[in-house]
Structure 1
Amino acid sequence: MKRIRARVLPVLLAAVVAGSVATSASGVPASAAHAEHAHEHPLIRAAVARPKQPPAPKLPVVNGPVMSTAALVQDVNAKSKVALRVLVVASSSADFGLPTWKSTLDRIGQPYDVILAKNTTLRAGQLVNADGTPKYSAVLLTDNALISEGTSAFDTAEWSVLWSYERTHGIRQVSLYTSYGTFPEDYCLRPGSEGPITTPAQATLTQAGAAFFDYLKASARIPITQSYAYRSRLQSGCSAQPLLTIGNDVLGVTSTTADGRERAALTFSSGEYQVHTDLLSYGLVRWATNGVFVGEQRHWLNVDIDDWFNHTAHLYPDGRLETDPGFRLSGVEASATHAQQNSLRDRFPLADEFTLNIPYNAGGFDPAAPSRCSATNTPDPLSSFSRCEANNFRWINHTLTHPTMDFLTYAESFSEIRDNLAPVREAGFVVPTEILKTPAYSGLGVYSPTPNGPLKDFGLTGSNPNLLRAAKDLGVKYLHGNMSFEGHQPPCFNCAITHPLEPAVSVVPDWPVNIGYQVTTPAEQTYLYNSLYGPDGQFPTHPRNLTYAEILALEAEVGLSHVLSGSVYSHTFHQGNAHHYAPGKSLIFDWTEEIVRQYSSFYQVPLKGPDWSRLAGYTKARAAHFAEIRTGPDVVWDRLTNIVTINADTTGTLFLTGASLVTVPSERYGADLISQASVRPGLPQILLAQPR
């Protein structure tokens, strides 16, 4: 077995490749110039598990309320208007909760400022503009006492400044991590028990919690793990409502102070990579801002099946690799894949929009094959079945013969892109001109500078200019990138990258998966995965070889983290993964169904599944949104008139939640109203707020 593994492993690196060796329509290898660079792509490797959080700090339990220091507080000018910006207050740059708040707000696209309490003396003037308008519509604390080195990083005067600001302007406050005790103020939490949670504990939503987190199912169980928790009781007669409980223990609360300030708090630590953070942090921000804020969050699921019509290498469970001819889907499996898609929608209504994207290679398509879901009297059943099912999938240009495009000439690039469209369009397929997925993401700056040498990420400036020029000339606006390449990772969440060498073209990355392009069954995937990540593998990660069920659970965990975070990017699979290894079963839908099943157990808002043109357009709008907020637009909500006014310094786009445009339809996503506003200097944009 050792001898076989040593022989096969160099080929097994292609498990994490987004393509195969280029072939012509007849199955003959492509030109030597193409084949020279058609080696495996070891940089395309998905995460094998979600990142683990460092141990959460223990907060001291301190009693004794802060004395009133009203005389020390400079009065602020109370106004009905408030700027739509958020204030994050952390004890220091090393604060455990700071990355959590920052990642949450960055995903949403909400502008924010950070105050490091240990290094800052908070003054009233820091919280208001020159005209007295409050700068911040919400205050987000990393923990209730801003503990640093055992004591609060704010003194009594600074706490009084913050509370005076909140009280005067009606600003809500959230504490991400809260111990019981009455210092520096009382959340009505009283001692129960405390300690680390290492085995997942299932928290439930109270009636108030179900209303607070109304995008979640009222029956949802919130899995809390890798956390330190203060299991609390509520003080009787105190103005507080529990949000989350485990048995009789309270783990989340809203409460109101005697002077009318509204607060929410969780009593357990929440790291940026944890499922419970994904589920709850958005709701905390939404509540703190009264549901009116800059940015938005939705949940998406898209899956690509690359290399349709092509043959790809086929790995067997004994390590044998077949490349001539390799594996190609049968026609019947095309219809069976459509049936799986329908079944998923029927069983999981939240996935009703789910539709597969199919990047195809028309070099393997037979235009003479009639359009019918039958293998009888057809020169190519896959072509016939695909024509019959064409309207049930979304088709994407993946080039004619699947060449590596790092060094193609302009003419070669042009013909590969152009000639992949005509035969299928004439057969009735709808294929967008503006979308191109290059084989193995080639031509976009990741290649070997020497034949068969190690690959290097040169960034997008290392892209093939011939490919870019040909793509632009043929009307391509968006190229698929890959999140495993640093050079393809956008600087903002859910954004596209304007290509530095060709601004008419943008790069939208995909998520890779660790389900190999050359595997078709659970046994094949298990052999491949363990050959890569087992104790004797090329990238030893696990202490023992895993079963298929364990591998699927890990892959679904990573994929689910993308979905829960709100990532719009598609996940890439390959045509061999759509093989029906048993009736109604394929590797693609094993993964997809597990993602959707878990999502549906948590949420009651739907999974969005836009086609690639709309997906790409959204990522470009998100990039414009982040470019706009970097210039500091003046976004102000008048809470008396419920008018939101945007005064921008540059022309661009802003997403807003909880406000609608007068002239442009807004999208209702669950209880949230989401608008995309076009802005430009000197022309204020007016929206109508719908606060929660």
Structure 2
Amino acid sequence: MAPRVRIRRSAAAVLATAGLLTLGLAAPGASAATEPRIDLRVLVVDNGDSPVRAITAQLAGTGIPYTTVELTDPDRPTITEAFLSDTVNGRPRARFQGVVLPNEAPFGAGSAEQTALETYERTYGIPQVDAYTWAHPGVGLDYTSEGGWAGGLDGSEAAVTAAGKAGPFDYLDGALTFEDNSPVVQESYGYAARPRSGYTSYVDVPVPAGTGRGSLVGEYAHDGRRELVVTFAYNQHQRQFRALARGIVEWLTQGVHLGRDRNYFAVHVDDVFAPDSRWDTERDCTPGDLDCAGGDGEGTTPIRMTAADAQYAAQWQRERGFTLDMVYNAGSGEEWKAENGGTDALAAQLLADRNQYRWINHTYTHPYLGCVQDTSTVPWTCAKHADGTTRWMSRAEITAQIRDNHNWAVRQGLPVDRTELVTGEHSGLRTLPQQPQDNPNLAGALADTGVKWIASDNSREPEQRAVGGALTVPRHPMNVYYNVGTAEEMVDEYNFVYTSAADGGSGVCENNPTSTCLDDPLDPQTGYASYIVPQEARIALGHALNNDPRPHYVHQSNLAEDRLLYPVLDKVLADYRALFADNTPVENLSQKAIGTELQRRAAWQNAVANGRVSAYRIGSTVTVTAPGGTQIPVTVPEGTKQQLLLGTTTFGTPYAGNRSAWATPALLQSALTLKLP
């Protein structure tokens, strides 16, 4: 998105000089020496409310440096001219490229701090976001009593206006429906009002119980300043904010900022070629599990895909334009084949379609790679040697599991990357409470087999960490259970987990502060489609809209029998494509690419936190320095060029109307230098 500015004929003369220089436009009498430097950093004034925290989370997740001033902190810095600007080598410097405020005047209208901030914005052309305020003439809107609305917005269908699509929200395509997840809880409140002179509406909604449309997000240009006015309350997790967050930040930074924001969605299908145990609806447990009374593995038929299921998976991928990651256990498949007449139609079909999927090593027979489990107790414990030390699976055994599975794949011609690994149950990695440390033999086995990226469970370990020379890739578990093949089985187990003991459930939800019991058990016939599917799709889509590359994981059983996974994925993809324009496709990355993205982010965050990044804009030139070897995330408008030693080259790849990339200085250069259009 190209930088935008609206300049009123009545604006102060200082704006005509300094503000235009900020955007690289020549003003009368201006020279290169007086053209101001604008540091690529955002100022956030935080009053503790969720709208400011939501925008701050978007800045942090994107990788944009920011400085927070806590309004309630008695030791906070005072907002003065000296705090906001200074001079560097004789050149005026604006220390912040944009300002986020809780509302239009958090310091009080006419106060010294508010006046200093407004003067700064006029002088340097700095945009201001009012994170949440009410509709009134002071922000360019009529009062809601004048044909507007103040109240709940749950389920309201907002829309991006023509100005919004031509401006900061050009990546959105369809209606933006406000969440309404509970009929008994008000989730959204706001003010929809008619614009006044100087106000351009970007997002509006039909006035409830009235006529016409009222603005919820818009730009108010006045007194030589620009404000993005938001008149609905939100938190960082609500879909309406997640969809608009990118545009709010692009408006705030004029489309030029450090950091990179894309929408990601990847799905790992574990246990491919292996059968999965089935939930027993009578005993409310899974035969074979340690805590299942009489659980000797008998009494239910295991769940395993068929050749028809494999054909459907390939067809589904082609029709949706989406690639699944098949996480395979070759040895388990070979065991199944030996026990079933020596043939395996499923394996034959998947191998015939091998190049339509990505493939990830899941060990040969899916053993537990951590401590040796003592199953004489429930829950299990780590077995001990006579001297009291823990018994571990050996390095040689772990290495064999990884090596044999990879070699089988190579013989079958699978397009597998030896650097990627998912261990069974994420075993080998620490598992609380029984195994508080990694198997000490795991890191060596990973080195022996060339593994650089090992999957972990995001619900246990959300941050990437090192395991010897490898790095973890946290995965989001999806609440489509591994041990169910039909919708009725899924609802039965879901009810058991999420209903109170009085309703026949486990009652676990009553004692877990992070979980909520169902008001009533779900209907076995309709509960999956009516409740579980939309619930799981909403959660997964929330991850995708949060610049979160972490993959989701399910199991091959979810592609078998009732094929429970597809309704969830279809809803995620359909909702996504209905909301976003073609210039903002969902990115479907491999495990290696996801691990690399997380690794780069960690290095970038460390460099920013330690004050080792310098980034600024002078006119149409952006200059960034960072520690040697650090990949620098940058987002800029279309048409931006990277300066080389000789000449220039087009910068980045297109996404959501801008261009972005992880970049480093060109050959023989100490700084990354970009030329804006």
TM band (smaller chain):
0.7 to 0.9
Structure 2 residue matching 1:191: 3-state secondary structure? coil
- Say whether 1:244 aligns with 2:203: yes
Aligned to 1:671: 657
- Say whether 1:599 aligns with 2:559: no
Aligned-residue offset at 1:316: 5.2
CA contact (8 A) 1:79 1:169 kept: no
- Say whether 1:135 aligns with 2:95: yes
Aligned to 1:512: 477
Aligned residues between the structures = 568
Structure 2 residue matching 1:88: 3-state secondary structure? strand
Counterpart Cα distance in 2 of 1:681 and 1:268: 48
Aligned to 2:622: 644
- Say whether 1:337 aligns with 2:337: no
2:233 maps to a residue whose letter is S
1:282 maps to a residue whose letter is R
1:627 maps to a residue whose letter is N
Counterpart Cα distance in 2 of 1:498 and 1:187: 52
Aligned to 2:465: 497
Aligned to 2:374: none
Counterpart Cα distance in 1 of 2:135 and 2:248: 19
Alignment of 1:189-588 (within 5 A): 189-192=142-145, 193-197=148-152, 199-223=154-178, 226-235=187-196, 238-247=197-206, 248-259=213-224, 261-315=225-279, 317-318=281-282, 321=286, 323-324=297-298, 326-345=302-321, 354-366=322-334, 379-407=343-371, 408-449=393-434, 458=436, 462-485=437-460, 488-490=461-463, 496-499=464-467, 502=468, 504-536=469-501, 537-538=505-506, 539-540=508-509, 541-546=517-522, 547-548=527-528, 549-581=530-562, 586-588=563-565
Counterpart Cα distance in 2 of 1:657 and 1:294: 6
Aligned-residue offset at 1:356: 0.4
Distance 1:681 1:144, change over 3 A: farther
What value does the CA root-mean-square deviation take over the aligned residues? 2.8
CA contact (8 A) 2:35 2:618 kept: no
Distance 1:83 1:684, change over 3 A: farther
Aligned to 2:600: 621
Counterpart Cα distance in 2 of 1:189 and 1:264: 16
CA contact (8 A) 1:144 1:179 kept: no
Counterpart Cα distance in 1 of 2:283 and 2:558: 17
Structure 2 residue matching 1:566: 3-state secondary structure? coil
Aligned-residue offset at 1:217: 3.4
CA contact (8 A) 2:361 2:421 kept: yes
Aligned-residue offset at 1:378: 7.3
Residue deviations 1:9-65 (CA, integer Å, cap 9, x gap): xxxxxxxxxxxxxxxxxxxxxxxxxxxxxxxxxxxxxxxxxxxxxxxxxxxxxxxxx
Residue deviations 1:452-496 (CA, integer Å, cap 9, x gap): xxxx6x3xxx111201111122111011011110xx221xxxxx3
Counterpart Cα distance in 1 of 2:342 and 2:654: 47
Structure 2 residue matching 1:133: 3-state secondary structure? strand
Structure 2 residue matching 1:326: 3-state secondary structure? coil
Residue deviations 1:583-630 (CA, integer Å, cap 9, x gap): xxx211111111111111211110111222222222222222212222
Counterpart Cα distance in 2 of 1:638 and 1:644: 4
Specify every segment of 5 or more residues in structure 1 that has no aligned partner in the other structure, as ranges. Answer: 1-67, 71-75, 147-151, 346-353, 370-375, 450-455, 491-495
Counterpart Cα distance in 2 of 1:227 and 1:272: 12
Relative contact order (C-alpha < 8 Å, sep 6+): which is higher? Answer: 1
Counterpart Cα distance in 2 of 1:662 and 1:426: 47
Distance 1:673 1:155, change over 3 A: same
2:256 maps to a residue whose letter is V
Structure 2 residue matching 1:327: 3-state secondary structure? coil
Residue identity (%): 25
- The alignment's TM-score, normalised by the length of structure 2, stands at 0.79
Aligned-residue offset at 1:560: 1.2
- Say whether 1:181 aligns with 2:146: no
Distance 1:634 1:436, change over 3 A: closer
Aligned to 2:54: 100
Aligned-residue offset at 1:533: 0.7
Structure 2 residue matching 1:652: 3-state secondary structure? coil
Aligned to 1:61: none
Aligned-residue offset at 1:421: 1.0
Aligned-residue offset at 1:156: 1.8
2:653 maps to a residue whose letter is E
- The alignment's TM-score, normalised by the length of structure 1, stands at 0.77
- Say whether 1:688 aligns with 2:641: no
Structure 2 residue matching 1:565: 3-state secondary structure? coil
- Say whether 1:123 aligns with 2:80: yes
1:395 maps to a residue whose letter is W
Aligned-residue offset at 1:332: 2.4
Residue deviations 1:343-386 (CA, integer Å, cap 9, x gap): 222xxxxxxxx2100111110344999xxxxxx99711122112
Residue deviations 1:669-691 (CA, integer Å, cap 9, x gap): 13110021236999532332447
Residue deviations 1:619-653 (CA, integer Å, cap 9, x gap): 2222222122223244434342x221112245412
Aligned to 1:58: none
Structure 2 residue matching 1:300: 3-state secondary structure? coil
CA contact (8 A) 1:233 1:249 kept: yes
Aligned-residue offset at 1:420: 0.8
CA contact (8 A) 1:304 1:572 kept: yes
